[in-house]
């Protein structure tokens, strides 16, 4: 009988961020590795961005990026910037385990709310957040480009 060794760990070093890139690229398809690494470094240093990965049998199969924030709307909260499971490893509960890790991190650091946005086209993800993770839809996210 095969045993599953699942480990979730926070990624804090450049070599770990590089290891996570192939999975993150599945969500952030517009990024190449150099621009991804530059953004991770900047967000890590300046915004408190954190990254965590889920490993199954020592293989990285899911990754999340999140950061602590404070706004007048939410007060202290965690913003989940990225959450992606490798396409060949979906529907195995990895996303839920990784999001539960973020919830625990938030609790341990006294952030009472976890919030995220999800692309309008990602209906499977919306069902996951609402039905399995008990998130509620509370707003739309709007954006505009001011520099080109």
pLDDT digits (tens, 9 = 90+) for 4-43: 699 999 999 999 999 999 999 999 999 999 999 999 999 9
Count of residues making up the chain:
148
Q: Is the pTM of this model over 0.75?
A: yes
Residues 13 and 109: their CA atoms lie apart, in Å, by 21
pLDDT at 2: 56
Residues 136 and 112: their CA atoms lie apart, in Å, by 15
Fold of the CATH domain 6-132: Aminopeptidase (3.40.630)
Tell me the domain boundaries of the chain: 6-132
pLDDT at 37: 98
Backbone angles phi, psi at 83, to 5 degrees: -155, 115
Percent of the chain with pLDDT over 90: 80
Residue 49 reports pLDDT greater than 90: yes
pLDDT, average across residues 46-50: 97
Q: Count CA atoms closer than 13 A to 147's CA, side-chain side.
A: 0
pLDDT at 119: 84
The answer to whether the CB of 40 falls within 8 A of the CB of 49 is yes
Q: Residues near 101 by Cβ (< 8 Å), separated by ≥ 6?
A: 8, 52, 54, 64
Which residue from 25, 96, 16 is spatially nearest to 60, judged by alpha carbons?
A: 16
Which residue from 94, 62, 64, 61 is spatially nearest to 79, judged by alpha carbons?
A: 64
């Amino acid at each position: 009988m095969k045993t599953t060794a699942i480990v979730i760990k926070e990624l804090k070093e450049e070599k770990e961020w590089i290891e996570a890139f192939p999975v993150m690229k599945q969500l952030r398809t517009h990024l190449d590795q150099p621009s991804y690494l530059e953004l991770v470094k900047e967000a890590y240093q300046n915004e408190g961005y954190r990254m965590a990965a889920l490993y199954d049998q020592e293989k990285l199969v899911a990754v999340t990026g999140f950061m602590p924030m404070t706004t007048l709307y939410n007060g202290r909260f965690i913003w989940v910037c990225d959450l992606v499971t490798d396409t060949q490893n979906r529907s195995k509960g990895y996303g839920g385990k990784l999001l539960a890790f973020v919830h625990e991190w938030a609790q341990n650091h006294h952030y009472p709310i976890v919030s995220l946005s999800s692309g309008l086209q990602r209906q499977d993800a919306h069902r996951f957040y609402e039905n399995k993770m008990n998130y509620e839809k509370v707003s739309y996210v709007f954006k505009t480009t001011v520099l080109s």
